[in-house]
Structure 1
Amino acid sequence: MRVFAIKSPSGALIPHGDEAAELFRSLKVGHPVSVEIKRPRNYRFHKKMFALFKLAFDVWEPGELKYKGIVVEKEFNRFRKDMTILAGFCKPVYCINSEVRLEAESLSYSGMDADRFDLVYRAVRNVVWKHVLQHAGYRSEAEVDRVVNELMGFD
């Protein structure tokens, strides 16, 4: 499981977030654990991207659709991948049924450097604005930026 931690002045790692805190609580005091340390690309900016996705996903109303009698539900991971694809950050893959499908580029820290992530963020913000947020009552992209920054506690 991957979680985030912050180094304290004493050198101890402090869990960052509920998931990390829960994992740290489950560890036995005095027992060794294996740890792989990686410095995140820009953790806050990565979280900002996901705050933008969540804001858009929460207001997106795709309408009712049935597939073979089953109501189709919206799904966050599919949504964020679709927004990334619409932003142009994808690759074509060949399917077994001879069709070509677009796969979203990975937004993982290891899969994308900071400069490319910045390009992706700006492109995704434009797509989210065009396809979702302007239809949901947001007045401008600047308003969207302000709301996302407020959600993240950015100044």
Structure 2
Amino acid sequence: GDFLRSVKIGEWIHADFKRVRNYAFHKRFFKLLQLGFDYWTPTGGTVTSREQKLISGFVNFLCGSAGQEYTPALNEAAEQYLHNVATLRTGDVALLKSFDAFREWVTVQAGFYTEHFYPDGSRGRRAKSIAFASMDETEFQQVYKAVLNVLWNWILFRKFSSPEEVENVAAHLLEFA
């Protein structure tokens, strides 16, 4: 009220309009992340690059023997096999998981990051902030969809039948929170 009274008739003013963020949707986003985090078992480094190359070479050999350049089903079977091997190898290892590091990784993989250059010439990526003041509702919806895709493609496809089922489970978990 006071601001509008202080503006003179005919005076130009500027305003920045944004859609108000939906707090319930924000909470659902974090439930989705938590679901992915809960189903994720770190397996990094348990399958060596030599083992990966060996399996990849074997898949190429099989495809060549069958007269095909690439077979998605065979490639997916090889990836699943390597995942199973990695999971078995981590069975006796104490694993430490960090939700903040996981959230950072997922957000970067979803394409929402800033790139930084360091004095040694290397580059690093940092996840963009999803704080209410940093991102409007439209951009947040894009982040949500991209994060769901990352979680589905990397982790949740092994446990659920579809991304829609994942969203439903996250929504149900939110009801119990």
For the aligned pair, the TM-score class normalised by the smaller chain equals 0.5 to 0.7
Compare CA radii of gyration and give the structure with the larger one: 2
Is residue 28–residue 174 contact of structure 2 (8 Å, CA) maintained in 1? Answer: yes
TM-score under structure 2 length normalisation: 0.57
Aligned to 1:62: 42
Deviations 1:47-93 (A, max 9, x none): 11100000000110012769xxxx76221011011101101111111
Does the Cα contact within 8 Å between 2:42 and 2:95 map onto a contact in 1? no
Larger proportion of strand = 1
Q: Distance in 1 between matches of 2:97 and 2:45?
A: 10
Which of residues 142, 152, 164 in structure 2 aligns to 1:119?
A: 142
Instruction: Tell me the C-alpha RMSD between the 2 structures.
Output: 2.1
| % identity of equivalent residues | 36
What's the CA shift for 1:42?
A: 1.4
Question: Does 1:47 find its partner at 2:69?
Answer: no
Task: Write the distance in 2 (CA, Å) between the matches of 1:113 and 1:65.
Answer: 38
Instruction: Specify the alignment match of 1:145 in structure 2.
Output: 167
The alignment covers a number of residue pairs equal to: 110
Structure with the higher fraction of residues in helix conformation: 2
Q: What are the ranges of 5 or more consecutive residues in structure 2 without an aligned counterpart?
A: 1-19, 47-93
Runs of 4+ in 1 over 2 A off after TM superposition: 63-66, 95-98
Q: Which ranges in structure 1 are unaligned for 5 or more consecutive residues? A: 1-39
Task: Give the letter for the 2:129 counterpart.
Answer: S
Which structure ranks higher in relative contact order (CA pairs < 8 Å, sequence separation ≥ 6)? 2
Q: Secondary structure of 1:153's partner?
A: helix
Which amino acid in the other structure matches residue 104 of structure 1? A
- 1:72–1:58: structure 2 CA closer, same or farther, 3 Å change rule? closer
